[in-house]
A and B are shown apart, each in its own frame.
Chain A
Amino acid sequence: MDESNNRVGGRVSTRLLIYLAKRWRLFIISIASIIILTTLNSLVPIYIRDAIDQGILMKNLWNTIYYTIIILGLVGGAGVASYTSRYFITLLSQQVVHDIRVDAFKSIQRQSMDFFDKTYTGQLISRITNDANRLARFFSNRLRNLVNSILLASLSIYYMYTMSPRLSIIAAAMIITLAIVNTRYVMIIRPIYDAIRHQIGVLASIVTNNLNGIKTVKALSLEEHETSIFNKENNEFTRMSLKAAKIRAIYGNISTLVLGASISLILYYGAYAAINGELTIGEITAFITYLTMLMWPMRALGLILGGFQRTLASAKRIFEIIDAKPKIYENPSARKLRDIRGEILLKNIVFSYIDEHKVLNNINLRIKPGEKILITGPPGSGKSTILKLLMRLYDPQSGNIYIDGIDIKDIKLDSLRKFIAMVPQEPFIFSGTIRENISFGADNIQEKDIIEAAKAAQIHEFIMSLPKRYDTLVGEKGITLSGGQRQRIAIARALLTKPKILLLDDPVSNLDAETERKLIQDLEKIFEDRTVIIVSQRLSLARLADRIIVLDKGRIVEEGTHNQLITKKGLYHKLYTTSLTQRKILKR
C-alpha cells in the first residue's frame, strides 16, 4: 500500500517537475534570488556582532556607524532580492498552474457524456480551482520558504559554529526540534481544519435547504425540528473549533518554549564562556538574533513538510482529469463532410447508459432526406437516447449509425455536429445576454438572422417585452427564464446554425396551449428542406410528421402514419385516446 503510494507520489512529482522544467528560466531566476535574499539576511547578525564588539565595546563610534551602514545595505539588498524572488516565483507558480489548469479544462471539454454522468460537477470544479490553487501555493510561498528555511538554517549554524562550536550544537538541536514539532503540529491540525471546513459546508447546506424549503418548514411546523438539527451541527462545529483552538494554543506556542529554553541555555553557557574570554557579548547577541530569526522559517518548514502529501494528492487529482480518456473519439481516418442530404440509417443499435439495462434494443430505422419523423412512446422508452446517439454524444454498444451512407464514426465530430442541431428537452442557458445565447452555435451572424430565428421560435415578442431586449442578461446573473422560454431560445439557437438535420426533444413540453399552437404552426415552415426528428409524448405534433415511430422498452413497436397507426389500434392508439380524455369530457 505504502509502496504503491510512493510510486504514485514519485510519478506525480516527476510530472510536476516536467511542468516546472518548461518554465526553467523563471525557476532559475526565482531560486537564485531566494539564495541571494537568504544569504544577505544571514549576514545581518554577524554585523550586529561587529557593531557591538568592534564599536560599542571598543568605544569606537565610527566602527559602529560603519557596521550599521553595512547592515542597512544588507537589508536594503535583501529587500530588492525579496521583491524579485516574490515576483518571479509567483509568476513561475502561476504560469505552471495555468498550464496545468488549462490542460485539465481541455481534457474536460474533450470528455464524452458518460464521463459527466459518472462525475460530480462539484468535484471537477474543486479540482480545477481548489486543487490548482493548492499547487500554486506550493510552488510560490512553499517553494520559496523551503529554500529559504533550509539555507538560512544551514548558514546560521555555520556562522554560529565559527563563533562557538559548542553553543552551535544547542542551536542545531533547537532548529531540529522546531522543525519536528512544527511538522507534527501541521499534520495534526490539518485534518481538523479540513473537518471544520467540511462542517461549515454542512451548516451552510442546512441553512440553504431550510431557506429554500421555508414554506414547507412552516407548513409542516418543522421549525423546532430544523432548529434542533441545526443546533446539533452547530455544536459539533464549535466542538471541532475548540479542539483546533486547543491544539493550536499548545503546539502553536511551543516554539516559544523551545526558543526560550535554547536562549536560556545559550545565556547560561555563553555567559560562562564570555567570562572566560571565549565569547564576546556581540557574539551572544548574534546567537540570540539567529535563534529568533529562525522561528518563522522553521514554522514555514513545518507547514511545507506537513503539507507535502496533500500537495501531491492535489496534483494527483488534477492529473487524473488530464489523463481521462474520452470514450468517443474520431477514427484516424475520419473525414470532413462538405454537405449532406440528410439521410439517416440506424442499424441494429443496442445501447445502455451504465448498467445492463438496455435503453435501446436492436433499433433499425431508415429516414429519407427531408423526412419528418415523430418518435413517441411512454416515458423511459428510449426516445431521447436516439437523438443523443445521432449527435454522437454517446456511442452505441453495438450497431452502426450512417448519415448519407457514411458511418458516423468515420466522420469528424466537428463536421458531424455542424450539420445536425439538437434542441434538448431542458436546454442549458449560459449566463450572458439573450443575443449571446441565441447566437451561441453560429459564426458570423447578423442581427437580422438572430431576430428571424427568434421570431420563428416564437420568442421574439417576449424578448422585445424585456427592458433591454436582446441585451437582457439571462442565466445566473440575470433574469430567470421559464422552461418554455428556455426551450424556445434553444430552438432559435439551433435554427441559426441552419442544420440539415434538426433534432427536437419534446419541444412543446413546457408551453401553454396557445404558444404551443403557434409554435407548431411555425415549425412547419422551419422544417422545410430539413430532415427532422421530433421526440415527444404530445401527439399534437403528429400532424407535422410524415411518419410516426412508436417506441416501447427500447424497441420499435409500431411505425406508420397517424391514420395507419390509429386503425391498427395498438400502443399508439392507446396513447392517443388517453391524451384525448379531456376532449371527450368537454364533448359530453
Chain B
Amino acid sequence: MSETAFRKPLPLEEEAPTTPATQLAKRIARYILRYKHILIIVVASTIATAIIGLLTPYLLATIIDEYITKLKTEGLTTIALLYLTLMIGQWISQTLRSYSIQTIGQYFLNNLRQEVFEKLQRLSLQFYTTRRIGDLISIAINDTTILNEVLVSGMLSIIGDIISLAGIIAIMIYLSPPLAAVALINIPLIALITRFFGSRLRRAYRLTRRKIAELTTIVEESIAGISVIKSFRKEEDIVYNFSGLSRETINAYLNVAKLMGFFWPLTNIATTLSTVLVLIIGAYLSITGLVTIGIVIAFIQYVNKLGQPITQLVNMYDSLQAAFAAAERIYGILDAEEYIKEDEDAIELNNILGEVKIKNLSFSYTKEEQVLKDINLHINPGETIALVGKTGAGKTTLANLICRFYDPDKGTIYIDGIDIRKISIKSLRRLISYVPQETYLFPGTIIDNIRLGRPDAADEEIINICKSLGIHEFIEKLPNGYNTDAGEAGKRLSTGEKQLISIARAMLRKPSIVILDEALSSVDTATEEIIKNAIKHLIKGRTSIIIAHRLTLARDADKIVVIDGRRIVEEGTYQQLIDKKGYYYKLLQKQTIETIAK
C-alpha cells in the first residue's frame, strides 16, 4: 500500500469543499496571526515594494520632462542617484518580502504537519478502519503543502499584488485620467484570457500527470510481474501497451502546448494593445499639450507592470477551490473524534498481579454486525489460556478490546479488579504486551526493530533477551545478523519468523500480561520449534492469552476457550475438551482431516 499511496489516479475535476470557505479561512488566519512579528515585516516590505514600484516610472518621467526636454543638467546626478537608491530599496524590500512570506508559510506548514501527525497518533483504530492509509498520507504530506502554497504563502503574495495593482491604477488616474482609461484596457482582457485558459490548462496539466502515473504503473507492474511476463512470452505485448500509452502522453503534452500557445501570445497582445493605445492617445494628448512626453513613457512602464499581478490573481482564484478542499480534508482529521480517551483522573498502574476479568462484554465494529456478545471470562494471575475458534469468530477482537484499541459497546474489562477505562492508556499498554499475528517491521535494522519494545534498551540487553528466548542463533543467521536491514529481512522472512521479532519486543517490555496472536503459518518444523519455544519463554510466569490458529499450541494452555458465533461456547482443559467431544474436538478433527485421509 505504501508504494501506491502517491499514485492514486488523479481526478480531472477537483472536489468542491462543503465547509464554508470563510470558516476555513478564519481558522487559517488565526494560525497566521501567531507570527505577528514576521507578519509586520511582510506588511512593511509589501507596502515598500508597491510604493517603490510606483515611484520609479514617475522618476523616469521627471528626468525626461524636467531635464532632457528642458536641456537641464543641473541636479541630474542627484536624481539618477535617487533612482539607483530606489532600485536598491526595491531589491531589499522584495528580498525581505519574499523571505518573510516564506518564513511564515514554512512555520505554518511545520506546525500543521506536526499537529496532523500528533492527531493521527491519538486517533483510535476505529478511525483507521474507515480510512485508506494512502489518503491519510496524502493529506499529511500533499494537502498541507497545497494549503501553504495557496492559502498562506500564496495569499500573502497575492495581497501584495493587489496593493501594487491598486497603486498603479490610482497613480495612472492621478497622472492622466484619459490615458489611464485606455491603458487599463488590458486588465479585463488579461483577466478574461486567464480565466478562459486557467482551468483548461490546469486540466490539461493534470491529464499529463495522469498519463505519467499510468506509465509508472505499467513499468512497475511489468517489473513486479516480470517472471510471469517472461514465462508467458508477453514481452512484446507489454512493450506494445507501453508504447501506446507513451504516445497518449505525447498527445497530452501537445494539448498543454496548444493551450499555452494561445495563452501567452494573447496576454502579450493584450498588453501590447494597451501600450499601443497609450502611444496613440498619448501622442494626441501630448500634441495638444495635455500631458508631457515623460508621462506617456511612464505609462508604458506602468502598463508593463500590470500583466503579472492580474495573471497571478486570476490563477489564484482557480486554485482556491482545490486549496479549500485540502483544508477541509486536513481539518477533517484534526477534528475527528478520538473515541478512546483517557479518563481525566486515570490511574497510573505500576505493578499488577495480572488478573483479567471480562464481564458481559458485547462489541460490534459496525452497527449491522455484532462481533462479540455477552462474553464473560475470568483469567487468574499467571494463567495461560488459549482462545480458539474459526476465522472471524472474534478472537482477535477480544484481544483488541483487552488492549483497549477499541472500547466495548457494553460490559467491562477489569485488570486486577480495575476497569481498564480508568487506567492511563500508557500504563495499560506497558503492562499488557500484545504480539500481533502480522509483525510490522519499521525501517531500520532488526535490532532497532526489537528495541521498539523499549526505545532506551541497550544492544546488550536486547541480545541477552534474544538469547533467553532462543532466537539469537536465528537472528545471527540473517545476512547481517542483528544489523540486517528490516526491509530486506521482511521480504525473506515468513510471518511466523517475523513474529519472533514481536516476541522479543514484548519480552523487552517485561509485561505482566501477554496477548499473543499466533502466526505459525508456512514455517518449517525447525522454525516452528523455535517459535514455540520463544512463546513458552515469553509467557512463563505471566498471565497470557494465546489466540491459537494451529491447535497444537492450545494443548499446553491451562485452559482452552472456544469462541463460536460471537459467544464463548466451551471452556476447559485440553483433556476435558477432548473427552467432551464438542466444538474443540470437531475443530481439531477438521484440521487434520487431510492427514487422516491419507
Contacts and interface: CB of A to CB of B under 8 A. Distances in A.
Q: Chain B's interface: helix, strand, loop or mixed, by majority? A: helix
Given A52-B297, A90-B257, A253-B98, A237 B110 contact: yes
Contact of A256 (B77, B90, B589): B90
Nearest to B122: A223
Interface residues of A, number: 149
A52 B69 CA distance: 13
Nearest to A82: B265
Contacts of B60: 267, 288
B464 interface: no
A526 interface: no
Interface in B20-41: none
Interface in A181-201: 200
Contacts of B94: 249, 253, 256
Contacts of B56: 260
A370 interface: no
B250 A91 contact: yes
A249 B522 contact: no
A227 B117 contact: yes
Contacts of A210: 117, 120-121
Nearest to B230: A393
A71 interface: yes
Interface string A423-465: 0100110110000000011000000000000000000000000
Nearest to B257: A90
A268 B434 CA distance: 80
B216 interface: yes
Interface string A94-112: 1100100110011011100
B2 A209 contact: yes
A107 B393 CA distance: 51
B315 interface: no
Contact of B268 (A79, A128, A129, A208): A79
Given A75-B268, A249-B102, A256-B87, A586 B592 contact: yes
Contacts of B279: 48, 51-52, 55-56, 64, 67-68
B569 interface: no
A261 B246 contact: no
A362 interface: no
Contacts of A82: 261, 264-265, 268
Interface in A57-83: 57, 59, 61, 64-65, 67-68, 71-72, 75-76, 78-80, 82-83
A564 interface: no
Interface in A208-247: 208-223, 225-227, 230-231, 234-235, 237-238, 241-242, 245-246
Nearest to B593: A513
A257 interface: yes
Nearest to A543: B598
A525 interface: no
A65 B110 contact: no
A228 B122 CA distance: 14
Contact of A440 (B107, B234, B235, B268): B234
B114 A249 contact: no
A75 B266 CA distance: 10
B133 A211 contact: yes
Given A211-B136, A241-B102, A108 B223 contact: yes
Contact of B265 (A78, A94, A253, A379): A78
Given A72-B272, A221-B426, A275-B68, A64 B283 contact: yes
A418 B233 contact: yes
Contacts of A225: 452, 455
Contacts of A397: none
A431 B217 contact: yes
A268 B262 contact: no
A218 B590 contact: no
Interface stretch (A167-175, A337-345, A399-407, A576-584): A576-584
Contacts of B588: 586
Contacts of B272: 44, 71-72, 75
A407 to B, nearest CB: 19
B346 to A, nearest CB: 14
B117 A86 contact: no
B141 interface: yes
Interface string B285-321: 0110000010011001100100000000000000000
Contacts of A105: 219, 222, 239, 242-243
A24 interface: no
Nearest to A125: B219
User: Which of B4, B121, B141, B275 has the most chain A CB within a 10 Å cutoff?
Assistant: B121
B453 A264 contact: no
A50 B125 CA distance: 75
Given A225-B455, A260-B90, A417-B232, A56 B282 contact: yes
A254 interface: yes
Interface string B225-249: 1111111111100110011001101
A221 B287 contact: no
Nearest to B596: A583
B215 interface: yes
Given A219-B434, A219-B436, A234 B113 contact: yes
A79 to B, nearest CB: 3
Interface string A504-527: 000001100110110000000000
A230 B119 CA distance: 13
Contacts of B77: 268
Interface in A126-148: 128-129, 133, 136, 140
B80 interface: yes
B335 interface: no
B63 A271 contact: yes
B109 interface: yes
B345 interface: no
A257 B93 CA distance: 11
Given A64-B280, A76-B269, A217-B121, A207 B140 contact: yes
Contacts of A245: 98-99, 102-103, 106
A226 B598 CA distance: 51
A360 interface: no
B443 A102 contact: no
A65 B219 contact: no
Nearest to B268: A75
Contacts of A388: 227
B109 A218 contact: no
A200 B225 CA distance: 29
User: Which of B109, B113, B264 has the most chain A CB within a 10 Å cutoff?
Assistant: B113
A238 B87 contact: no
B223 A121 contact: yes
A155 interface: no
Given A48-B300, A56-B293, A129-B215, A102 B239 contact: yes
B595 A582 contact: yes
Interface string B409-451: 0000000000000000110011001101001101100000000
B35 to A, nearest CB: 13
Nearest to A415: B233
A427 B228 contact: yes
B258 interface: yes
B223 A56 contact: no
B106 A238 contact: yes
Nearest to A537: B524
Interface string B42-73: 00000000000000100010011001110111
B117 A230 contact: yes
A398 interface: no
B117 A440 contact: no
Given A207-B141, A209-B2, A263-B87, A540 B598 contact: yes
9 contacts: A55-B279, A61-B280, A238-B110, A253-B94, A264-B84, A275-B68, A513-B590, A513-B591, A517-B594
Closest CB pairs A-B (n = 7): A260-B87, A79-B265, A441-B232, A245-B102, A213-B440, A428-B225, A83-B261
Given A52-B297, A249-B96, 7 more contacts: A113-B230, A211-B128, A238-B107, A254-B91, A261-B84, A292-B304, A476-B221
